[in-house]
Chains A and B, each alone.
Chain A
Amino acid sequence: MIRLLDEFRCHFAMLRKHTIGLTRIFHTDHLRRSGSQMDTALISKSSSGSMDSYSRRQTSSLALPHQPSRPPRHDQYEISGLTSFYLVVLGGCSSFVIPELCSNYITCILITLAINAILCVSLNLINGYMGEFSVGHAAFMAIGAYGSAIITVKILPLIPFSLSSFLTFPLMVVAGGLLAALVGIPLALLSFKTRGDYLAIITLAFLMIVKSALENISYVGGPRGFLGIPPLTTLPWVYFWAVVTFWIMRHFIHSKWGRSIIAIREDEIAAEAMGVSTRSAKMMTFVISSFFAGIAGGLFAHQIQFINPSSFDILRSTNILVMVYLGGVASLSGSLVGAGVFTILYQILQPLGVWRMVTMPLLLVLLMIFRPRGIMGYQEWSCFKLKE
């Protein structure tokens, strides 16, 4: 099996002589497949140029010890498409096996990790790739959680015939995600008018509005919370959703939309002048991001079986932000790394009690001062890139 893997790896490495450098993503050949040729080629020029200047600006002012233009990594690290497919299948198998072999604690941590990874990658789309700043991601999660919980607890029992949860659970989660996406649309509309600080304020206000609205709706329990959600979230399900999320995200950021939002990050006015339809790109991004946050919320609700408005407060948003900026902005692999490191760190710091809540923001501040790009900022493992 390992030999087979190795063979495949060598084979694909031979095929792809390209390195994993950051600017590869913006290569024009790569772009030809999507959208109108001239537009995208122009975007690619402008964005790759200013991308470098962006990282340079960050490093020079902060005097980071190492430069972003490190020598490109070589083919030995590359994972080919087929290998990553095997890895995904292997992970899928182990997600069935792990709950049997390991303790509940480990399974629980792995489920949390996967949910965190979904949240992190969906926020990374707005904060990392689009360069906007959203603080209100916990609100989408809350909407997804409440939406799917309402369907499970209140609506499903009304249906006369019984359905197996294997069929209904994904539908409920998707319904929660769709609800969150629907709520994401007005926020996207607001983001057309404002940028930067003011958008951050709007998302913050949005989070507060959702939270206090939930506190005032007695149908979902008000401030007491929503009880009696069945524990449907299992490791294989979460794994499935995480894989789906990462797969869709990978394709999204390499699509026309993804390139558009990267161009928006670099310079919105220039992007608009080059013919990028910034509005539809922003709308698409907000909708997709909030959809996956809603999915994570639905999974979360069915994992811990109890949700209340105060579990979706600003601290949760901050935790997602920590994951994004720890793992690395504008990087799918970074989101995975960030979620992993964060979840494990959160467990290790358990003995600190309340002081643990101090360490996470502290980590965020230190990250901002010393390494604002995060561990994998603007870099990508090859398995998260599309084949050229």
Chain B
Amino acid sequence: MDYIIQQVINAIQLGSIYGLIALGYSLVYGVLSMMNFAHGDLFMLGAFFCLLLEKIIPLPLWLALLLTMLVIGCLGALLERLAYRPIRHAPKVSAIITSLGCGLILENITLAMSPYPRHMPTLFQNSIFHFHGITISSLQIIVIGISLLLMILLDVMIRCTTLGMVIRALAWNRLMVSLLGIPANRIISFTFALGAALGAAAGLLYALTYPVVSSSMGIAIGWKAFIAAVIGGIGNMRGALLGAFILGSTEVMSITMLPSTYRDLIAYSLLLIILIFKPYGILGEPPTQKI
């Protein structure tokens, strides 16, 4: 029983990191209905930026988190401006290819600059608590806490503020929103920045938990989060979180039962199986096709 609870905690920890990244995918898909395959690499850059920051000046966790989110958010907006805006009206395939290309560019630039995996320094004293045979580290509490906080903040923002309303309206009908005099381009850039910032926060948290930072993180972890977003129904915030926790628990289960090399195989098979039965994800709705 203790063992199960322990694994549940691990699953929640992994799921909350996946959830943060998946939210970024869903945000962008909701607004522009495009798959931002470069998002996983923004997550990787978040981890790298934090590492760089700590190498130069050791900052406390909250400041490092804010700075990382700010910088990577700006990078996300820049990416949107340079690469995605010119092809916004092109066929959908162009958008997919461009985002795939952007992701690979970011990944390979990082690889060229830092060919070896790097060790992430710890940002605070990690203490371990024991309750009736269950072990929780303060790191786990912080990771889960920060991600839950960010998720709640995002939810409040999307639901209760004017900005959130505009983002929801953009997802509904982009043309109408611009006709009403709302600067749609600026809002889209902001949404990209928001998604990228969430991804960067996840990158920092991931690097704290598993303190090895490498350029292949974007594909290894970022794309898992993408699976989570798709499982839940991409474009749907709650779906993204649901998918993240489903994926997190599946992965933890597969690691405890099978050799860990089967992890990817099981995660991607889960995606395929869910897409076979629910082609648009668990909470997603099929797009209406106009004739």
Contacts and interface: CB of A to CB of B under 8 A. Distances in A.
Interface of A: 57-58, 61-62, 127, 131, 133, 135, 190, 193-194, 196-198, 200-202, 204-206, 208-209, 211-213, 215-216, 269-270, 314-315, 318, 321, 325, 353-355, 357-358, 360-362, 364-365, 368-369, 372
A61 B89 contact: yes
Nearest to B229: A201
20 contacts: A58-B90, A133-B92, A133-B96, A190-B272, A193-B276, A197-B96, A198-B279, A201-B226, A201-B271, A212-B265, A216-B261, A269-B291, A318-B101, A355-B112, A361-B101, A364-B97, A365-B83, A368-B87, A372-B90, A372-B94
Interface string B93-120: 1101110111111001101100100000
A358 to B, nearest CB: 4
A325 B83 CA distance: 17
Question: Which of A193, A204, A364 neighbours the largest number of chain B CB atoms within 10 Å of its CB?
Answer: A204
Nearest to B270: A205
A15 to B, nearest CB: 38
Nearest to A370: B86
B268 A205 contact: yes
Contacts of A361: 100-105, 108
Contacts of B223: 204, 208
Interface residues of B, number: 46
Nearest to A319: B104
Determine chain B's interface SS by DSSP, over half rule. helix
Interface in B257-282: 259, 261-262, 264-265, 268-269, 271-272, 275-276, 279-280
Given A197-B35, A197-B96, A368-B97, 14 more contacts: A61-B89, A133-B97, A194-B275, A197-B34, A197-B234, A201-B271, A205-B275, A206-B272, A209-B268, A318-B101, A361-B101, A362-B101, A365-B98, A368-B98
Contacts of B269: 209
B227 interface: yes
Contacts of A193: 276, 279
Contact of A62 (B86, B111, B271): B86
B27 interface: no
Interface string B247-262: 0000000000001011
Given A61-B90, A205-B268, A200 B35 contact: yes
